[in-house]
Amino acid sequence: MKKYVITTMIALFLIGIAFSATNGPAPIPNPPNFYVNSSLTTLCKGQTNYIPITVSDLGFLSVSPGETNTTSAMSAVTFSLSSKYFTPIGNSTGFITSVFAGQPKTAVLHIFVSPNASLITTASLSIDYNYLVYYSDSEVRNLTFEVQTCPSPLDVNVSPKEVVSGTIQNISINLTNTGNTTLNSLFLHTSIPSIDGAIVGNPQVQVGSLLPGSSYNLNTEIFVSRNASIQSFPFNTTATFYNGTDIEQVSNSTSLIPTGGIDMLVSGTTVSPSPASPDGIFSISFILTDVGTSGASAVTAEAELPKGFTAYGSNPTYVGDISADGQSPVTLTLVASNKSSTKPYVIPIVVNYLNSLRQNQTKTFDVNVSVFGSFNSISGVSGSAPNGAVEFHRSSGILIYILIAAIAVIIVLSYMLVKEKRRGRHAKER
């Protein structure tokens, strides 16, 4: 009997194996054929956008040719939207409990769109879901949006627009509620690129509530680096608030222009020769040093000449560029008036240069020049002759006069001596 039982069990086992081998495992049904879209096609940059995502289940695909689609249900549907210009606000994923064929369902994502978003921006929608209880799947679909600048419920105004490199600068921020609802729990976060400087103190300020049409002013300080961007750099503000329905963010970027501080110092001023001779050539020499935080370009120096003075060469004189903490020697060559003066002449020197904004800047200082001596027209020296030639001719004229006078004295003395000797001879003869 036992043999028959064991034989029967073995036979049934073999029949089961054979049946399994004949039919194989049950095929996995294809995932649902679904459609994803958003009714919002235009987004506002620099603001929070409420993006509705709609999922439509179109039914199962055929398992094999000749079979018909079966009514399906997607469950536990989760999805997220990603782009380099998108930042989720709050929960980063949307969730739909179930989606039946022919019954679309919608969930809303809160997305902050960067102020730098492209005019046409494509985002990736990652979606995960279950179907037929035992199966799950995931896909990635692309959604394309148009991005534009929209009116904001919060207006942000920043001043001043020009800041000085290498200094701590006070920045005034004005917030105005331009909407129709009160903005509650308002926080403001400020930032600037680290290469351009830093926020001094706490970058986040709690404002509180802001009624429609009302404004709030606050001040903050920034340190502007000496190496701040030459053209401009952004001062960024991000406001977070509750608009009565949802948490919202508004971002603003204001371009600040670093002008740089140029402090031109004049030192080592000399006049050579001093005093200058009437109608003679002389020079004014000095050193320009930029002790500021920004370089000066296209530097020139010009003497404002008193009456009777003329330039010997270029006036103004081109100096060139002077970097911050750099210096450059300058020499102006002039021709003095042909009139002697007991009082010094005052010659203003005007230094012109351009700052980092290509704006013209001016510094003026005075130089006292003494002119003493007599002008010798016989020498025939003009203002264009070298100074040494002027002095040489004047000295030669004086020496000639002295020599003539000395010869005259010698002749008179010789004549008197000869005359005296003759008188002595006549007296002896008598």
The reported pLDDT for the residue numbered 11 is 58
List the structure tokens of 291: 């002790």
Decide if 386 contacts 281 (C-beta within 8 A). Answer: yes
The reported pLDDT for the residue numbered 385 is 40
Q: DSSP letter at 162?
A: E
List the structure tokens of 285: 């020499």
> How are beta strands 215-224 and 168-177 bridged, if at all?
antiparallel
> How are beta strands 162-163 and 247-258 bridged, if at all?
parallel
Give the C-alpha distances (Å, rounded to integers) separating 198 from 30, 173, 239, 257, 407: 56, 16, 19, 15, 87
Domain 264-375: give its CATH superfamily: Immunoglobulins (2.60.40.10)
User: Mind listing the pLDDT tens digit for each residue in 82-141?
Assistant: 999 998 887 778 899 888 888 899 999 988 898 888 999 999 999 999 887 778 889 999
- What element of type H or E holds 400? helix 387-429
Torsion of Cα atoms, 96 then 100 then 105 then 107, to 10°: 10
17, burial (CB in 10 Å: exposed 0-12, middle 13-18, buried 19+)? exposed
Give the position of tokens 């509750």.
242
CATH topology match: 32-148 vs 154-258: yes
The reported pLDDT for the residue numbered 173 is 94
User: Mind listing the pLDDT tens digit for each residue in 135-178?
Assistant: 888 999 999 999 998 888 889 999 998 888 778 889 999 999 98
Rounded Cα distance between 421 and 172, Å, is: 107
Question: What is the CB neighbour count within 10 angstroms for residue 366?
Answer: 10
List the structure tokens of 142: 């692309």
Closest CA relative to residue 223, chosen from 244, 250, 194: 194
112, burial (CB in 10 Å: exposed 0-12, middle 13-18, buried 19+)? buried
Percent of the chain predicted with pLDDT > 70:
78
Rounded Cα distance between 125 and 116, Å, is: 21
Closest CA relative to residue 364, chosen from 321, 329, 316: 316
Give the C-alpha distances (Å, rounded to integers) separating 251 from 109, 149, 166, 187, 241: 18, 12, 27, 12, 12
The reported pLDDT for the residue numbered 192 is 92
User: Mind listing the pLDDT tens digit for each residue in 276-330?
Assistant: 999 899 999 999 998 877 788 899 999 999 988 999 988 999 999 998 889 999 9
Rounded Cα distance between 225 and 285, Å, is: 34
Using alpha carbons only, give the angle 356, 169, 237 rounded to the nearest 5 degrees. 100
Single-letter code of the amino acid located at 418:
V
233, burial (CB in 10 Å: exposed 0-12, middle 13-18, buried 19+)? buried
The reported pLDDT for the residue numbered 310 is 92
- Point out the least confidently predicted range of 105-114, 242-251, 368-377: 368-377
The reported pLDDT for the residue numbered 376 is 44
Helix (H, G, I), strand (E, B) or coil at 198: strand
Rounded Cα distance between 211 and 196, Å, is: 35
Give the position of tokens 């960067």.
114
**Structural domain spans, the chain:** 32-148, 154-258, 264-375
CATH number of the domain located at residue range(s) 154-258 in this protein: 2.60.40.10
At residue 294, φ and ψ (nearest 5 deg) are -140, 150
Report the top-level CATH class of 32-148: mainly beta
Give pTM, 2 decimals.
0.48
- Point out the least confidently predicted range of 1-15, 125-139, 340-354, 377-391: 377-391
User: Mind listing the pLDDT tens digit for each residue in 388-429?
Assistant: 444 444 444 566 667 777 787 788 777 777 676 666 665 555
Helix (H, G, I), strand (E, B) or coil at 247: strand
Give the pLDDT mean for 208-233: 85
